[in-house]
Amino acid sequence: MSTSLHHRAVEHLGTRIVGGALPTGHVMLAEHLEDELNVSRSVVREAVRVLQSLGLVETIKRVGIRVLPAHRWNPFDPLVIRWRLAGEGRGAQLRSLAELRSAVEPVAAELAAGNAPGSLRQELVGISLAMKEAGDAGDMATFLDLDIRFHALVLSGSGNEMFANLIGQVTETLTGRTVHGLMPEHPQKEALQWHMDVAHAIDAGNGAMARDAAAKIMRQTIAELAPSWDDQPRVFVPVSRN
Amino acid sequence: MSTSLHHRAVEHLGTRIVGGALPTGHVMLAEHLEDELNVSRSVVREAVRVLQSLGLVETIKRVGIRVLPAHRWNPFDPLVIRWRLAGEGRGAQLRSLAELRSAVEPVAAELAAGNAPGSLRQELVGISLAMKEAGDAGDMATFLDLDIRFHALVLSGSGNEMFANLIGQVTETLTGRTVHGLMPEHPQKEALQWHMDVAHAIDAGNGAMARDAAAKIMRQTIAELAPSWDDQPRVFVPVSRN
DNA sequence: GAGTTTTGATGTCAGCACACATCGGTGTCA
DNA sequence: TGACACCGATGTGTGCTGACATCAAAACTC
pLDDT the model gives residue A2: 60
| Sequence-separated (6 or more) residues with CB below 8 Å from residue A234 | B115, B159, B160
Task: Give distance CA B140 / C1' D11 (Å).
Answer: 61
Question: In this complex, which of B45, B117, B162 lies closest to A236 when CB atoms are compared?
Answer: B117
Contact B164 A71 (CB under 8 A): yes
Judge whether A158 and A121 are in contact, CB under 8 Å. no
Cβ-defined contact of A76 to B71 (cutoff 8 Å): no
Tell me whether A42 touches chain B (CB under 8 Å).
yes
pLDDT range class, residue B241, cuts 50, 70, 90: low
Q: Which residues of A touch B241 (CB under 8 A)?
A: 149
The residue ranges of every structural domain in chain B are 5-72, 89-229
The interface pTM score, or ipTM, of the predicted complex is: 0.90
pLDDT at A242: 53
Specify which of A36-50, A165-179, B147-161 reaches the highest per-range mean pLDDT.
Answer: B147-161
Q: CA(A33)–C1'(D18) in Å?
A: 19
Instruction: Assess contact for B46 and B4: CB atoms under 8 A.
Output: no
Nucleotide nearest to A45 (CA to C1'): C10
Topology (CATH) of B89-229: Four Helix Bundle (Hemerythrin (Met), subunit A) (1.20.120)
pLDDT of residue A194: 98
Task: Considering the domain delimited by A5-72, tell me its CATH architecture.
Answer: Orthogonal Bundle (1.10)
Q: Which residues of B touch A107 (CB under 8 A)?
A: 99, 102-103
In this predicted structure, the answer to whether residue A186 has a pLDDT above a threshold of 80 is: no
Does residue A1 have a pLDDT over 70? no
Rounded to 5°, the CA angle B193-B194-B198 comes to: 120
Choice between B182 and B112, residue whose per-residue pLDDT is larger: B112
The nucleotide closest to A40 (CA, C1' atoms): D16
Per-residue H/E/C for chain A: CCCCHHHHHHHHHHHHHHCCCCCCCCEECHHHHHHHHCCCHHHHHHHHHHHHHCCCEEEECCCEEEECCHHHCCCCCHHHHHHHHHCCCHHHHHHHHHHHHHHHHHHHHHHHHHHCCHHHHHHHHHHHHHHHHHHHHCCHHHHHHHHHHHHHHHHHHCCCHHHHCCHHHHHHHHHHHHHCCCCCCCCCHHHHHHHHHHHHHHHHCCHHHHHHHHHHHHHHHHHHHHHHHCCCCCCCCCCCCC
Residues paired with A60 in a beta bridge:
A64
Tell me the pLDDT tens digit for each residue of B106-151.
999 999 999 999 999 999 999 999 999 999 998 999 999 999 999 9
Strand partners, B64: B60
Percentage of residues of chain B with pLDDT beyond 90? 74
Residue B184 confidence (pLDDT) above 80: no
CATH class of A90-229: mainly alpha
What gap in Å lies between CA A186 and CA A178, rounded to an integer?
A: 12
Residue A67 bridge partners (DSSP): A57
Q: How far apart are CA B133 and CA A51, in angstroms?
A: 45
Per DSSP, helices labelled H in chain B are: 5-18, 30-37, 41-53, 78-86, 90-115, 118-137, 140-157, 161-164, 167-179, 189-204, 207-225
Residues of A in contact with B45 (CB under 8 A): 42, 46
Total CB pairs under 8 A between chain A and B:
142
Q: What is the mean pLDDT of chain B?
A: 92
B167-179 and B140-157 helices, crossing angle to 10°: 160
